Chain A
C-alpha cells in the first residue's frame, strides 16, 4: 500500500479508546486485543470516517490543517507507514 494505496475504517473494527497520561489504549472488541498507541496514531484514526476510502495523502492534508507536520515529502511516508502498521494490527483495512 504505502503512499499510493487506499485505506478504510470498517465499522466492525471500531475501538474503544482510553487516554492514560500520554498514551492511548485502544480496545478492539472483535479480536479482544488491547493496543497501546501514542501520537500520531490516535490523531490519524480520528481523521478516518467509517467506510470512507482515504489515502495517506488525504489524511496528511486533513492532519496538516490541525498540526504542524513539517515537510510534506517527509510526513507522507510516515503516515503511510502508520497506516500499514494499523492494517497489520487489524484496526484498518486496505480499500
Chain B
C-alpha cells in the first residue's frame, strides 16, 4: 500500500498499510517509543483502504481489512483513521492470536505481580489501568491480557489506551496533553482519544508477571466489594476470551489454573479515588 508502518506491541508485530498518509503519520507519532521493526515479518497485516476508488478522495471512507476480516465491518470516516487502525490491530489479535490465551482485560503490575481487570466496555477497566499506570504501577495493557499457556504468567500488550467520553478529561488531567492523541469526535462509541503509555510500560513490554488479583470493576453510583465464585469467574473469563475455544486443551488447563489460583473480587466504584482505595486495600489483603 502507499503508506505503511511496521510496529511491535508486546509479542505481536503488525504491519499497517493505508491508502492515506494521515493515519500512518498519527500512528508513527504515538508509537514513536515502540521498537522499530521495519522489514520484519509481521504476525498480522492491517489494511485501511477506500470503500471504492472514488472514496479515496471524495468524502474518504475507510474499509478495515487484513489477514482476518469481518465482512460486515462498517466503513469509517478518514478523520477516524487512527481509530480504524487501532480497531484493525485489535481485530487481528482477537481473531488470529494463538500463542497465549487472550483475555479481554486490562492489567497493571507491581513487584512482579499482576492485577488483572476484566469487564464490559464502559466498566472502567481501561481508565483504571491508565490511571494506576500513573500511580506507581506498571501499565501492561488496557484491552488484552495475554495468559501464558505454560507458565501461567500474564504478558503485556501495552498498545495505546483507548479512552472514551468522560474518561478522556480524567486521564488528560493526569497525564498531560503531550501523551494524548487527537480527539476523535462522534465515533460509533462517542468521543475517543488515545493515550500513550508511560515509557516504562513500553520499555518493559516483554516482561510478564504472576497474576495475583482479578477484579471485575464496574463504574457506577454504588460502592461495593463482592466475592465471586469460581464457576462464575470461569464463565465470565471464557466470555472475555476470544481464543479459548480455538486453543483447545491447553486453553482449558491454563484458564482453570488461573481461576483456581488467583483471588477475585467484583468492585463497584463511583469515582477514581474510591477505586484506588479499594484496589490498595484488596492488594494488601488478598493479593
Contacts and interface: CB of A to CB of B under 8 A. Distances in A.
Interface stretch (B38-46, B59-67, B211-219, B230-238): B230-238
B176 interface: no
A46 interface: no
A34 to B, nearest CB: 6
Interface in A9-29: 16, 18, 20-23, 25, 27, 29
Given A25-B234, A34-B238, A20 B248 contact: no
Nearest to A27: B252
Contacts of B259: 20
Interface residues of B, number: 15
B229 A16 contact: no
A85 interface: no
Interface in B228-281: 229-231, 233-235, 238, 245, 248-249, 252-253, 256, 259-260
Contacts of B229: 20-22
Contacts of B235: 36
B103 to A, nearest CB: 16
A32 interface: yes
Contacts of A20: 229-231, 233-234, 256, 259-260
A22 B231 CA distance: 8
Most buried by B among A20, A22, A23: A20
Contacts of A21: 229-231
Contacts of A22: 229, 231
Contacts of B231: 20-23, 36
B256 A25 contact: yes
A80 B252 CA distance: 29
A34 B252 contact: yes
Nearest to B238: A34
Contact of A29 (B230, B238, B245, B249): B249
B230 A32 contact: no
B7 to A, nearest CB: 33
A30 to B, nearest CB: 11
A16 B260 CA distance: 15
A18 B259 CA distance: 11
Contacts of B238: 34
A25 B237 CA distance: 14
Given A34-B238, A36-B231, A36-B235, A18 B256 contact: yes
A27 B245 CA distance: 11
Given A23-B231, A25-B234, A32 B248 contact: yes
B249 A27 contact: yes
12 contacts: A16-B252, A18-B256, A20-B234, A20-B256, A20-B259, A20-B260, A21-B230, A21-B231, A22-B231, A34-B238, A36-B231, A36-B234
Interface of B: 229-231, 233-235, 238, 245, 248-249, 252-253, 256, 259-260
Given A20-B259, A32-B245, 5 more contacts: A16-B252, A18-B252, A18-B256, A20-B260, A36-B231
